[in-house]
A and B are shown apart, each in its own frame.
Chain A
Amino acid sequence: MDDIKESAFFMDTTIHYYLNPQGLTYEDFGGEMVAVNFDTGKYYGLTGSALTIWQALLSPRTVDELVELLELKYSEGEHDIREMTEKFIKILEGEGLLLQIQSPNLQLNSDEERRPFVAPNLEVHTDLQELIMLDPVHDTDPERGWPVRKAEPRATPDT
């Protein structure tokens, strides 16, 4: 946690982040989200304020803009909004889920009643990686993925 706080101090506040659409699909299930990256085979559970951040990242946002949005939407909870946002952006970046772009800042507003801030959380799951990379919901080209059947053992030639 300390490492993240320290490195977050140097975060470039002019960078605009947005979701990398490559291979990504996501579904909202009543305030909790599942995202699947078909290119890496990982799937994710997003809880807390992660859903708000994720939806905001459909358009390019700076960290400042995200913090501003969250401060409009949430009152202070037990977590620091900026610290948690910076940490979460780093996690998303580390998972390859974000791209960066330079673009003008966007106006943010929220008419919703503010609720106490809940830290964004990203659960990372790799246990179906092989199947997801094969695309489990329809036929696809399985050449990219594992597991492939192991080769039959070959008889050792007589010497």
Chain B
Amino acid sequence: MTNHPSVAVVMPVRNGEKFIEDALRSIQSQEISVSEIHVVNDGSTDRTLAIVERMRAADDRISVHDGPCKGPGPARNVAIRAAKADIISFLDCDDLWPAHKLELQIARMQAAPRVGVVSGFVQYFDKQIEDGLAPAKDSRTDEVFHAHLGATIYRRSVLDEVGLFDESFLYSEDVDLMLRVREAEVPFTILNAITLYYRRHDSSMTTTVTPHEKRDFSRALFNSMKRRKLAGRTEPLAAFADLVED
């Protein structure tokens, strides 16, 4: 794909030394090239900054920003404000993109100029191949649709319309954004393809939901219900099943 819209990648990180190099390499390895990679260092105390600076020296698409240390939503907003590209994408520092991810999603946007958001399925994995950027064959994997930002790309105009991340959220800021996108009836499609490898850590497989996480998730739903009521909207939002492409 030679002519495609410019793509910026947003990556917040705090103490991500273990996996961030692989995450950045999975961006650099995309079959189409991104124009900007914005890493927001949100108070790391490990070797994260040194790793990113080393990679930046060899790739001038990478820029590093200081985060406000208020969580991933505010950190992502720093990068979104700095980005100039037509398409905004996200990748967390411990996850990976399949090599074809952007090619598939950009192609979908180019084929349907009205489509503002293209998502896809998430493959959870717990083991990575030793010499590459993909789940290992013996990794425990599941392929599902989820609200993970890294699986989805947004036209810049969509974020201009619905707003950036609500910085009052420490958790579920992605659910809040997704609800605002759907309330705005932005054309949204889900590719029947893996568009994010999401790493499951030992700790994350056993973690229980904290009261703060539950409250933020409930607040995202509450805010959505309030907005819909204020707008006089009575019909339900479309089911995700209806958005999945064949």
Contact = CB atoms under 8 A, between A and B. Distances in A.
Given A149-B192, A150-B192, A134 B236 contact: no
B58 interface: no
B118 interface: no
A139 B200 contact: yes
Contact of A139 (B143, B175, B204, B218): B204
A146 B207 contact: no
A34 B192 contact: no
Contacts, number: 101
A43 B221 contact: yes
Nearest to A45: B225
Interface stretch (A49-57, A66-74, A107-115, A122-130): A122-130
Contact of B204 (A25, A136, A138): A138
Given A130-B241, A147-B144, A149-B143, A135 B209 contact: yes
A130 B215 contact: no
A29 B147 contact: no
A131 to B, nearest CB: 6
Contact of B225 (A34, A131, A141, A142): A34
B121 A137 contact: no
B214 A130 contact: no
B142 A137 contact: no
B144 to A, nearest CB: 4
Nearest to B148: A136
Interface string B133-152: 00000000011111100000
Interface residues of A, number: 32
B37 interface: no
Contacts of A139: 124, 198, 200, 204-205, 207
B57 interface: no
B121 A27 contact: no
Nearest to B201: A139
Contact of A125 (B182, B209, B216, B225): B225
A148 interface: yes
Contacts of A32: 222
B158 interface: no
B237 A147 contact: no
Contacts of B239: 126-127, 129-130
A118 to B, nearest CB: 16
Contact of A130 (B194, B204, B221, B240): B240
Interface string B192-215: 111000101000110111000111
The secondary structure that dominates the B interface is: mixed
Q: Give the most central of A43, A125, A149: most B CB within 10 Å.
A: A149
A127 B233 CA distance: 14
A150 B146 CA distance: 14
Contacts of A25: 214, 218
Contacts of A145: 144
A84 interface: no
Interface string A70-104: 00000000000000000000000000000000000
A56 B136 CA distance: 51
Given A134-B146, A150-B246, A34 B218 contact: yes
19 contacts: A26-B218, A27-B218, A27-B222, A29-B222, A36-B217, A43-B221, A45-B225, A123-B225, A130-B145, A130-B240, A131-B175, A135-B209, A136-B175, A137-B172, A138-B209, A145-B144, A147-B145, A148-B142, A149-B144
Interface of A: 25-27, 29, 32, 34, 36, 43, 45, 123, 125-131, 134-139, 141-143, 145-150
Given A138-B207, A148-B142, 16 more contacts: A25-B218, A27-B214, A27-B222, A29-B218, A123-B225, A126-B236, A126-B239, A127-B239, A131-B146, A131-B175, A135-B209, A137-B213, A142-B144, A142-B146, A148-B143, A149-B192
